[in-house]
Structure 1
């Protein structure tokens, strides 16, 4: 008994020091102020990341669905949808279609024919870009009982018919509330803030020390919108200060927007208005959405990097995404710059050449 008791008791100061050292190693390491600040910053970023995702939820849904509808513009636009394959049609309808190659050859032949008359350049097709159809083929057919919108694939002839049934009673009811200002198309007013500013722009540039010349109106035009009564009928009147055009709608007969059209117009809504109103607030929220999305992406990368076991997989996914975005971006830029601005066609008759080489 005595021997076991003695062995359990430290016999020297060295034994006491060793025991104290082991207990001190088990204590947590005291963090520096920088480490505490870094951890607090990361926790703050995580919380902002979380709440920004919650904030963006309805906006992501709106932009996602409206963007999807832009990519599929015919969705939700008809009462009936009929799809067909050209091979199933009788009498070979839509099966013997002119190819893009033959169409391009006919275009070159016609251009060379006109160039030879005016001593212009001779055109030939190269192998740098294979002839492809660009754009879409859509046709509208109106009948007393229905309106058809046809989308046809110019390569296969396959297509889709979207039919909207016509309700004659609804059309007659719409005529029961005519626009009281329907016969007012354009008026001139003085003073006109748009014209007044346009006249003073050259002087403004002179005073700013910038090259000056006559000012022309830009793409966006200024309008004034107000409520009014036309023979006792409440209306909303819009006046375009650029061209003097007048537009009006009755308060009790406003244009109807489908859910699809509403979402698409919301998607395209942009730019701050001159005064604070609902469209100004919408523009502010769009900017807030932009800031939130950029932060969400950057903070997501930071949070991913902190999880070591996911770094390699994440780097592969990130590299793939960057390469795909670059490839698609360059390809879309090439597509968007492959067509020049429209030319003004002179008022003279031109010959028409079909793909067989015959001229009319």
Structure 2
């Protein structure tokens, strides 16, 4: 038990900055107005109807009309399953630029009839590099060249594939380097090895706000093929995940050692597992409702 307690404590001390990072940034995803210059206004169903004439939509009625037209064009004989209620999913979002350089965003509740209008302040922008959008033709250093060189690799490895390896249409490696112009101004340059296009920004502090930066760090994942700070970031993300799992298990062990708390602890665990199973199962059903497509590697 001494080893368990020490492991529980020292792992917590090792990764507490990472737990704070993922915990705070994860919560901020659900509350985008925190830390950002956003003005929000709620519009009731009555006000929205009075201003626009728009009324709430009935998801069951729309589903019935969809199925009616589906059956009219095919011999499927489909019928709406009343045991699974129809519901809207996704964001009914409309946006337009504001005169100050930001944007106005309208999010509707299609079945409730209300809405939220948000006014976002202009985002900071860096001076675009004069070479942005330029294409540098180095055909021997493009993914098309790599694709051509490895097209016979799988058969030579004894792997039966219906076709050759092809470069991913959306995921491209990049070359990062820095240049200085005639005025000694430094630029961070990004050369896309898939398209051959250049982009970049002035060297120096980034333009992202603190909240946006936390979000970017939170979603940064995968071990890069080269060792750098991003590789270390992925390593600490792994360590943090393992630590959270060990916290859970070591917490159970320490709870079990305290006999007076076993009964209440068992009740709490049962409630936690049941609630987690219910919420996770419902959410999993929602995110897997339609046809799943993955553009990643």
1:304 to 255, 271, 280: 255
Higher CA-based Rg:
1
Structure 1, gaps ≥5 residues long? 1-41, 343-360
Q: Structure 1 residues 220, 317: closer, same or farther in 2, change over 3 A?
A: farther
Deviations 1:254-295 (A, max 9, x none): 651122211111001112222221111111111111222222
1:237 to 183, 189, 207: 189
Q: How far does residue 148 in structure 1 lie from its aligned partner after superposition?
A: 1.4
Q: Is the 8 A contact 1:86 1:93 kept in 2?
A: no
- Indicate yes or no: 2:287 matched with 1:336: yes
**Could you tell me which residue of structure 2 aligns to residue 216 of structure 1?**
166
Q: Is the 8 A contact 2:142 2:194 kept in 1?
A: no
Distance 1:316 1:95 in 2: 49
Structure 2, gaps ≥5 residues long? none
Q: How far does residue 129 in structure 1 lie from its aligned partner after superposition?
A: 1.5
Q: Is the 8 A contact 1:94 1:157 kept in 2?
A: no
**TM-score scaled by length of structure 1:** 0.71
- Indicate yes or no: 2:109 matched with 1:153: yes
**Could you tell me which residue of structure 1 aligns to residue 266 of structure 2?**
315
> Map of 1:214-293 to 2, 5 A cutoff?
214-218=164-168, 220-232=171-183, 233-251=185-203, 256-293=207-244
Query: Number of residues paired by the alignment?
Result: 289
2:129 to 179, 183, 196: 179
**SS of match in other structure, 1:191:** helix
Q: Is the 8 A contact 2:41 2:116 kept in 1?
A: yes
**Could you tell me which residue of structure 2 aligns to residue 191 of structure 1?**
140
**SS of match in other structure, 1:60:** helix
Distance 1:202 1:166 in 2: 47
Q: Structure 1 residues 202, 319: closer, same or farther in 2, change over 3 A?
A: farther
Q: How far does residue 56 in structure 1 lie from its aligned partner after superposition?
A: 3.1
Deviations 1:200-219 (A, max 9, x none): 43433233221143112246
Q: How far does residue 66 in structure 1 lie from its aligned partner after superposition?
A: 1.1
**Could you tell me which residue of structure 2 aligns to residue 107 of structure 1?**
66
Q: How far does residue 335 in structure 1 lie from its aligned partner after superposition?
A: 1.5
**TM-score scaled by length of structure 2:** 0.85
**SS of match in other structure, 1:321:** helix
**Could you tell me which residue of structure 2 aligns to residue 57 of structure 1?**
16
Comparing both chains, which one has the higher relative contact order based on Cα–Cα distances under 8 Å and sequence gaps of 6 or more?
A: 2
**Could you tell me which residue of structure 2 aligns to residue 121 of structure 1?**
76
Q: Is the 8 A contact 1:181 1:230 kept in 2?
A: no
Distance 1:101 1:94 in 2: 21
Distance 1:311 1:220 in 2: 51
Distance 1:327 1:287 in 2: 27
Q: Structure 1 residues 227, 92: closer, same or farther in 2, change over 3 A?
A: closer
Distance 1:77 1:108 in 2: 43
